[in-house]
Structure 1
Amino acid sequence: MSAPCLAATVEQFGDASQLRVHEVPAPQPRAGQIVVQVAAAAINPIDVRRRSGYGRKLFGLMGAARLPLVLGSDFAGTICAVGPGVTGWREGDAVFGAKPPSRQGTHATHVALDAAHVLAQPAGIAPAQLATLPYNFLTVCRALAGAGITRDSVLGRKVLLHGASGGLGLIAIALLKQLGAHVTAVAGERGLAACGAAGADLVLDRRRHPLESLPRQFTATLNFAHWDDDAQLVSRLAPGAVGHATTVHPLLAQIDRYGIAGGALAALYCKRRSAAATPRGTRYAWTVFRPDRDALNWLAEYAVMIPAAPTLQAFRLIHVAAAHHYVEQRCAGRAVLLPSPL
């Protein structure tokens, strides 16, 4: 690597002023790993929250919260080094993927990660767009699986999707339509057009159509919006429904508040109470991000079919604080870092 290696690091948990961009040692691939020169890396809401200290107790158990911390999971770039035991990849290959939570994330010019967590870049999609897909796609796949959603279970049936205009929601709409579901998408006014463009059969403004006003007719429900709405979503399930999954559960918040043991018990209580409100035989799941090879293979097949983010705001790595502000302000679309040497 002739170019300097730069990273956006969190020096102390807090606001965006804690972010610093500076030169770091070049990562070296261990057995089974590759090093990627990052062309683009998405900033997800979880990155902004982790910067402030959210989830530090649980992530700390994974070695993913020690300071200084480099955030980021998604990336698109080019392989610049291959470690021992890696087959099927070589220097110069264009790849994209998602790295599990760590303290050496993708908001850097170079990142080392397991070769199992990457895919070849498909033709016709820019790296900045590709970088917005893996984290959300893999999270959505886990939510579908947790809710028991398959082609057989939702073909021709109604699925209710809350928080449909965000990064998770738009991908979920596309996948549910591929599975043959009839999708009802609930979103804010600004996101309604994007939901329709993604293929939703019915698009509802959450302010004009409160969840409690919807009929109890859905075979599955998905919550990508607010934990406080989870009970209302579960109550929209029809008898004999397949299941419900949420990505906005309080697991990390409870552990942050009460510690590992106490927080896990508090979260388990919340989960059991919510699960008890589902129709008999219905699945109920809390979803967290985790790389999965089968889901990555599915992403390789469907990447070209997923609608592009309606707005893509690119930031140079040196402007990482501004990118965090963009996400915190819930601006439309996705924020993407374009790492490059100073």
Structure 2
Amino acid sequence: MKKNYSLAFLLLLVVFIISLSLGQRMITLPDWLSLIIGKASRSLTLTFWNFRLPRSLVALLSGAGLALSGYLLQGVTRNELADASFLGINSGAGLFVMLYLGLFAQGSPFLLPVIAVVGGLISAILVYFIAFASRVNGLSMNKLLLSGIAVNAGMGALTLLLTIKIAKESYQFVMSWLAGSIWGVTWEHAVILFVWISFLGVLGWWRQPILRLLSLGRENALSLGVAVDREQTYLLAIAAMLASVSVAFSGNLAFLGLLAPHIAKALSRNFSYSMTALCGGIIVLLADTLGRMLLTNGEVPAGILIAIIGAPYFLVILLRRNF
């Protein structure tokens, strides 16, 4: 167990350094030495400190946030297919952020996560109450997922409809952002995201004992004195906010909340909160770095590369389940 954690931290460090090094402006070993001793050129210093480092930090943090969101959703629903992108949370956050970026392109980055959280929570509330309204002896988790698929489709349709109204100068940026491109972020974005993910991540970690009790089933949890409906609502809200804040800065990285908890489980032999965060950060860093290298002019959004892996994996799990 400890060995797996050490290997995961080492892999994260290696991937982070590779992410900082690769791009249109390659950072070689002599460049690293010049940065360390403070004798780097002005262009290299600008590339590293103003562009490459905040981008890698945002990729790491957003990956951790979406991964932890998937971890909480899978724990609450007791369904290994649960993910914020399937429950409409990502689409809701994306819709509200798209409106904000389309109408106020120079808006404050401090408002960006707030607006994303509002959109994500509205989607989560719609999903929750649709499923809750048809419950029999408690909240039906299968209906929760089916409601999420319906809300996700509706939010996605609204997003596509509203892109027609976006100004031409904002259209390319918005479409790239919706595809999951971590582009144009600054230190301000990285710091804001760090504060949000740290706060929400600690809240989720603090509720781990309750999540383990919920995993025993509704009747068992009730017999142990757990207020099941209240705790489910609380954990779903944390998961929705984690996903929404991450989407605000990295775009819609679908399937990440599905992949990261499963990889963490394979590495640690059980669902591990911290291992899930590590896996999520590594996946997004790898996807973002690879996306910068695939094209000579431009880049492939990280969200597309993650979906290429996540979609087949989702189908494999779906085919293995008995419905």
TM-score bucket of the superposed structures, by smaller chain: under 0.3
Return the structure number with greater relative CO, CA threshold 8 A, min gap 6.
2
TM (normalized to structure 1)?
Answer: 0.25
TM (normalized to structure 2)?
Answer: 0.26
The structure with the greater share of residues assigned to strand is 1
